[in-house]
Structure 1
Amino acid sequence: MTRSEDLARRLTSVRAAIHSAARDSGRDPEEIRLLPVTKFHPASDIGILRDLGIDAVGENRVQDAVEKATLFPDVAVHLIGQIQTNKANAACRVAAAVHSLDSCRLAEALDRGTSLAIDRGQRSDEPLPVLIQFSFDGDPNRGGVPESGIDELLDTVSGCSNLLLSGVMCVPPVGSEPAQVFAAAADLRDRLVSAEKRQMELSAGMSRDLREAVAAGSTIVRVGTAILGPRG
């Protein structure tokens, strides 16, 4: 089996799982976007996925996002991993969205980086969509902002003219109950909808907990292993 055939088979299976989970939850499958996570896989896989109808992928590391976005400018790259502030400028040159905003310092760095990229003609003059990464357990060693820090971060983002608040992202801590984590993140997303009076994304769910995420209201599921196979 060729790599193209393998990815096509896996992609079909994941799409079917999303449709099944949506139907079981009484949701329209069209409300849910699939974001294949290509981290640690060769850039050539993005070309194959593009030919299979994928127009956006997720990357963890800024340097990999830059490489892959340069090779495949017609595929949007979403940054889903932690971003060091000293890499914010590079991130803003290529990111279609950032799912892992978790500090005021990073928000300010992304705001400056987006402004710089716009001034240099490296991206359009549209604000950079950002999602707040919600930390369910508040563990400082993991990415995400705890409930106690949400309001301060939202205040900072509101003052960043080059950022567009677009929703909430979460990753269930090891040993946690995914449904409980997704429900808490969905509540935060709903609060943002009420405050901003517009739609917000919920980026939640991976290969192992896709069904629970869809049931909780996820609008973006980030699937790596089930589509790309084991990491290289």
Structure 2
Amino acid sequence: MKRQEELQVRLQQVQARIDATLKECNRPAGSVQLLPVTKYHPVEDIKLLQNLGVAAVGENREQEARAKALEIPDMDFHMIGQIQSKKANSIARWAAAVHSVDSEKIAEALNRGVALSLERGDRSQEILPCFIQLSLDGDPSRGGTPLDQVTQLAEVIDQSAHLRFEGLMCVPPLGWDTEKAFFQAKDVLSGLEDHFHRSLEFSAGMSGDLVEAIKHGSTIVRVGTEILGNRALA
């Protein structure tokens, strides 16, 4: 089977799981975006996904994503990995959205980076949608914002000239029941929607737990292996 045909079959299988779960939950068809995660996979795979109608992919590593974005400028690349503040300027040049903001320092660095990129003509999109990565267990080693700091960080993002608070991103802590994690994260999201008086996105669910995430309100699922197969580790 040719690679494009393989990717098409895999995309259709994942989409079928999403559609079936939405139907089971009585949620509208099309209310969940499938974001293929292309970390460690070659740019040729992303071009094939683009041929199949995929408009956005997720990447974890800044240097790798930047190179791919330069090669495929008409594809949207979402940053979903942990961010170092020294990399924020570069991320602001290529990212269509960032799912992993976890501190005011990172938010401020991204805001400055977008302004600089616009000034230099490296970026055309004036506003960078940003998700707060939620830390349900408060463990800083895996990234994420503690529960008691989420609202303040959301306000910092939303008040920034070049950022927009888009919603939450959640990865269940190691050893946690996924249902419990997504339930808690959705509760935090609902509180933020009340605070900001608007609907927000919920980036939650990967290959192994997307069904549970959708049942708890996910609007974006990030799927890598189930679509692209095993990664050749760098």
Q: CA shift at 1:198, angstroms?
A: 2.0
Corresponding residue number in structure 1 for 2:95: 95
CA distance in 1, matches of 2:157, 2:10: 38
Whole-angstrom CA distance in 2 between matches of 1:181 and 1:126: 34
CA contact (8 A) 2:151 2:192 kept: no
Distance 2:65 2:202 in 1: 22
Mapping for residues 119-158 of structure 1, pairs under 5 Å: 119-158=119-158
Deviates more, 1:209-218 or 1:190-199: 190-199
Give the Cα–Cα distance (whole angstroms) in 2 for the partners of residues 3 and 125 of structure 1: 32
Measured in 2, the distance between the counterparts of 1:46 and 1:125 equals: 21
- Taking only the aligned residue pairs, the percentage that are identical comes to 50
Q: Say if 2:219 is the partner of 1:188.
A: no
Query: TM-score normalised to the size of structure 1?
Result: 0.97
Unaligned 5+ segments in structure 1 are: none
The CA deviation at 1:125 is 4.8
| Superposed CA offset, 1:167-204 (max 9, x none) | 00010112111111111111122222222222210000
Question: Where does residue 62 of structure 1 map in the other structure?
Answer: 62
Whole-angstrom CA distance in 1 between matches of 2:219 and 2:24? 15
Render the CA deviation track for 1:147-177: whole Å, top value 9, x for unaligned.
0221332232243211100000010112111
> Could you tell me how far apart the structure 2 residues matched to 1:31 and 1:156 are?
28
Residues 33-52 of structure 1 correspond to what in structure 2 (within 5 A)? 33-52=33-52
Instruction: Provide runs of 4+ in structure 1 moved above 4 Å.
Output: none
- Verify the 8 A CA contact 1:130 1:165 in the aligned structure 2: yes
Matches within 5 A, 1:1-232: 1-232=1-232
SS at match of 1:38: coil
Unaligned runs of 5+ in 2: none
| TM-score, scaled relative to structure 2 | 0.96
Number of aligned pairs? 232
Give me the whole-angstrom Cα distance separating, in 2, the residues matched to 1:54 and 1:178: 27
- AA paired with 1:218? S
